[in-house]
């Protein structure tokens, strides 16, 4: 498969870096010479300095030979026009990053008349993810798969002192659950039954949703059963706007603190049910005057990671039950594990997951990036053309970095073992280290001819190297 990415910022770079592992032939285009040089130094892709809005540039790169163009520059209008031009020049599919709420309301026009096949909105997706966390009673991150029947949780073992020092095989009443990975001192471990759990471990537990709920209740992890009714959002940008809009629909009282006066007027007009405060959200006295301590949750959603983290910590110290921080710098991830913050999330990771799901095609239901992008959870619908159909898992010879954690078969969830047979129509929830992504692609490769075989052969074509 050949993919052109226009825009080598944080998202474009991360996309290229992630898809490189999947043997996709990538061309990355940007107008900044220093950005292109950085790409050339670190990524095995074709890096080109040029303007994606320039039809001559797209023609020179033979855009008609590409399977997909992804426009992720920092300007919505540019992304829209780039996709429209590329589609007219013959590219098969296009994806555009569009963040402006006013444009999102015209999604049908953009997809039908502007030649955009798929729109990604990092801010909206981030707001939805925050909303999902807020509406749950847990103080840790969860992800749902297999139509909600399978869940993955990441839990700090310090919350379960009874398990410290135990071997996994000795955990009682653990049927229907699987520890797929452990983060220990910044290193990702794929455990087995003899692995001993340590005090600083972060566990990624996958299993039947009802069994995980029982596990949480047994160890009294689900302590917050109160509905979230009052929330303060620090930052009235797009994420704050989308989140406030979602919360108001759920009859939640929302306070937005925003420093830009014009933005405050906009928020007040668009969200009349919200209380919009014009002021410095890092001013603790201001927040105290606005009853920070009485809030059920605090969300740091500004464009500054340091402010989001600092004020989330301060809110926790003031007694706020749930604190959330949006971050963009991957270098802060390990630091967050040591902070008293309930949930942090990176819009870039969320967007990469959404794009990967679309790039990989209809068999992939969802992609969730984990462990600082060192791993992912993929939900796959097994097509009868896949080579794994009617095979026992033990005969697939999967590497240790790939774990089939759950199977939805005939509406029933199975936590499989080596003798479990994979059938057409099954939904597989697969944990995979990024170093094993190529093996994962081999696992879900088509076993016959036709379009699937053609697409598979494209992904196994020669790779381009970086050029100036």
Task: Give the CA count within 13 Å in the CB-facing half-sphere of 434.
Answer: 15
Q: Which of 201-215, 317-331, 387-401, 446-460 has the lowest mean pLDDT?
A: 446-460
Tokens, residue 464: 């381009």
pLDDT of residue 463: 40
What class does CATH assign to 356-459?
alpha beta
pLDDT confidence bin for 313, thresholds 50/70/90: very high
Give me the mean pLDDT over the 343-363 stretch: 85
> β-pairing, 202-208 with 177-184?
antiparallel
Give me the mean pLDDT over the 55-69 stretch: 96
> β-pairing, 402-409 with 412-414?
antiparallel
Supply the CATH classification number for the domain 126-132+228-345. Answer: 3.40.50.720
Domains 2-120 and 126-132+228-345 share a fold: yes
Supply the CATH classification number for the domain 136-218. Answer: 3.30.70.1450
Q: Is a pLDDT exceeding 90 seen at residue 369? A: no
Give me the mean pLDDT over the 102-115 stretch: 81
pLDDT confidence bin for 458, thresholds 50/70/90: very low
Supply the CATH classification number for the domain 2-120. Answer: 3.40.50.720
Of 146, 203, 199, 149, which is closest to residue 174 (Cα–Cα)?
203
- Measured CA distances, 285 to 240, 258, 315 (Å): 21, 15, 12
pLDDT of residue 445: 62
Element at 229 (helix H, strand E): none
Q: Is a pLDDT exceeding 80 seen at residue 291? A: yes
b/e per residue, 296-334, with b = 16+ CB within 10 A? bbbbbbbeebebbbebbbbbbebebbbbbbbbeeeebbe
Average pLDDT for the chain: 86
Provide the residue ranges of all domains of the chain, joining segments of one domain with +.
2-120, 126-132+228-345, 136-218, 356-459
Element at 65 (helix H, strand E): none
pLDDT confidence bin for 185, thresholds 50/70/90: confident
pLDDT confidence bin for 467, thresholds 50/70/90: very low
DSSP assignment of 320-357 equals -SEEEEE---GGGHHHHTTSS-SEEE-HHHHHHHHHHH
Q: Is a pLDDT exceeding 90 seen at residue 228? A: no
Query: Using alpha carbons only, how large is the chain's radius of gyration in Å?
Result: 23
């Amino acid at each position: 498969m050949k993919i052109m990415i226009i825009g080598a910022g944080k998202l474009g770079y991360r996309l290229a870096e992630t898809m490189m592992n999947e043997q996709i032939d990538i061309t990355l285009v940007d107008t900044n010479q220093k950005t292109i040089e950085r790409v050339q130094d670190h990524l095995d892709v074709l890096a080109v300095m040029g303007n994606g809005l320039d039809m001559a540039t797209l023609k020179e790169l033979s855009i008609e030979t590409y399977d997909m163009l992804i426009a992720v520059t920092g300007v919505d209008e540019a992304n829209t026009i780039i996709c429209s031009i590329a589609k007219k020049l013959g590219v098969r599919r296009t994806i555009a990053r569009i963040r402006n709420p006013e444009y999102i309301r015209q999604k049908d026009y953009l997809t039908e008349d502007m030649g955009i096949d798929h729109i990604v909105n990092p801010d909206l997706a981030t707001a939805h993810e925050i909303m999902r966390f807020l509406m749950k009673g847990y103080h840790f991150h969860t992800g749902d798969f297999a139509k909600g029947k399978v869940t993955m949780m990441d839990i700090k073992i310090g919350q379960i002192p009874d398990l410290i020092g135990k071997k996994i095989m000795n955990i009682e009443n653990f049927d229907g659950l699987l520890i797929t990975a452990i983060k220990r001192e910044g290193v990702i471990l794929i455990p087995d039954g003899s692995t001993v759990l340590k005090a600083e471990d972060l566990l990624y537990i996958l299993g039947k949703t009802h069994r995980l709920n029982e596990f949480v209740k047994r160890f009294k992890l689900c302590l917050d059963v109160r509905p979230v009714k009052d929330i303060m959002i620090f930052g009235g940008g797009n994420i704050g706007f989308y989140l406030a809009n979602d919360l108001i629909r759920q009859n939640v009282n929302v306070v937005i603190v925003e420093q830009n006066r014009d933005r405050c007027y906009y928020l007040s007009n668009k969200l009349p049910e919200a209380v919009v405060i014009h002021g410095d959200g890092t001013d603790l006295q201001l927040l105290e005057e606005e009853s920070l301590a009485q809030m059920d949750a605090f969300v740091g959603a500004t464009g500054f990671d340091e402010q989001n983290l600092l004020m989330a910590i301060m809110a926790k110290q003031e007694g706020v039950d749930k604190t959330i921080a949006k971050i963009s710098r991957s270098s802060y991830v390990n630091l967050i594990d040591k902070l008293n913050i309930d949930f942090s999330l990176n819009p870039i990771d969320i967007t990469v997951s959404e794009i990967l799901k679309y790039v990989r095609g209809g068999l992939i239901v969802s992609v969730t990036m984990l462990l600082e992008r060192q791993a992912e959870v993929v939900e796959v619908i097994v097509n009868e053309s896949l080579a794994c159909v009617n095979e026992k898992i033990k005969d697939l010879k999967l590497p240790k970095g790939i774990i089939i954690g759950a199977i939805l078969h005939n509406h029933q969830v199975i936590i499989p073992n080596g003798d479990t047979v994979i059938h057409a129509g099954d939904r597989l929830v697969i944990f995979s280290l990024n170093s094993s992504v190529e093996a994962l692609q081999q696992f879900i490769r088509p076993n016959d001819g036709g379009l699937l075989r053609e697409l598979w052969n494209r992904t196994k074509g020669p790779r381009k190297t970086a050029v100036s």
